Structure formats: C-alpha cells, structure tokens
Amino acid sequence: MYPIRRQSYAVKKGGEKVRWQRRKRAKTTNNLIICDNKYHILAISDCIGGNHHDSYELIEQMTILLNKMNEAKIDYKSSHLNADSGFDVKSFIEYIEQKHQLITNIPKNQRNTKKINQEHRYLSEYIYSFRFKIETIFAWLDSYKRILIRFEQRAKHFKSWLLIASFLINLRTILN
C-alpha cells in the first residue's frame, strides 16, 4: 500500500515555482510525496507553484514518480494507492489503474456527486484508515524548519533539502 499526498510549504523569500495561494494567504510551493506502509519515503516530485489545485499536472507528476520507483526497482504492481478525495479525478484513476496496474483506494469527492446514478468504485475503509501514515511523515518533515518554511529561492535547492530530510526519516525508521 502506498499513500500519496500533495504537501504545501510556505515561502519567505519568493523564487522559482512559488505562487500565491489565496486560502493560506501566503506564497507557497507544493510537492507530491509517495510513501510505503513502513513509513519510508519512496519518491518526491519536483516543486509546483502553490496557486494550483491538487489535481494540477497530477498524471505527469505521477508518471515521473512511478518511473523513479521503477528505476529504484520498487515493485508496486497490484498494490493499493491510498489518497484523499482531492485525487478523485476520473482521468487520473483510469491512468493509474490501467497503465500502472495499481488499485486506487480513493473516496469520492463530495463536489463530484451531482449525478444521481453514479458508478460504484472500490473503496476499502480498512486500507484507507492507514492514510495516517503519510500524515505522520508530513509531521516528521515539518519538524525540520528548513522545510517547514522554504527559504531557498531555487526549486532544486528546496527539493535537495526535502531529499536530505527524507533520507534522515528513512534512516531513522530503518534503524529503529
């Protein structure tokens, strides 16, 4: 099972891939992160401007992340992809299920329930209850001030700090 989530970070100085996010009333940048069931961070996307919704360039970003997992020889076929209702996009679900043979475990977004007769889609409440693992990883990432508030102006420098922090988190989970 692989939980996925897009995380938004506040930015102090501006820079590459930084945009104004109205609901947070700040400049932010977003990253898409995939982890496994043992609290290991498997892949981190490039920075995305914070003015976009969760499904912006979702298929392109997931393609890059899954290609990175293939390069690392991580076998993810026939696993569950656990995500929140923000990822309830029909094209994304079809792409993940058909091209990458992942089982999506995504609850229906209430904003998409306009039709009376909707298709039934697989959702395991038990598997969805493990989504707290990705939230725990984000809490661990937020313990690093360098990541909680982005001070770097270049996107690749910020991603480097994210990779260093994820390495430390992975090392901690392996050694404990």
Average pLDDT over residues 5-24: 75
Amino acid at 41: I
Full DSSP string of 20-38: EETTTTEEEEEEEEEE-TT
Identify the residue whose tokens are 């306009």.
Answer: 114
Q: Percent of the chain having pLDDT more than 70?
A: 92
Please report which confidence band the pLDDT of residue 73 belongs to, taking 50, 70 and 90 as the band edges: very high
Return the CATH class of domain 2-175. Answer: alpha beta
Q: Is the pLDDT of residue 136 over 80?
A: yes
Q: Is the pLDDT of residue 16 over 90?
A: no
For residues 161 and 143, the answer to whether their CB atoms sit within 8 Å is no
Q: Phi and psi at residue 2, in whole multiples of 5°?
A: -125, 105
pLDDT at 102: 92
For residues 150 and 12, the answer to whether their CB atoms sit within 8 Å is yes
Q: How many helices (H) and strands (E) does the chain have?
A: 6, 8
**What digits encode the pLDDT tens for the residues 35-65?**
999 999 999 999 888 777 777 788 999 999 9
Joined together, the tokens standing for residue 120 give 């039934």
Q: Which residues pair with 20 in a beta bridge?
A: 27
pLDDT at 117: 56
Please report which confidence band the pLDDT of residue 21 belongs to, taking 50, 70 and 90 as the band edges: confident
**What digits encode the pLDDT tens for the residues 86-134?**
888 889 999 999 999 999 999 888 776 666 556 667 788 999 899 899 9
pLDDT at 27: 82
pLDDT at 119: 67
Q: What is the pTM of this model?
A: 0.84
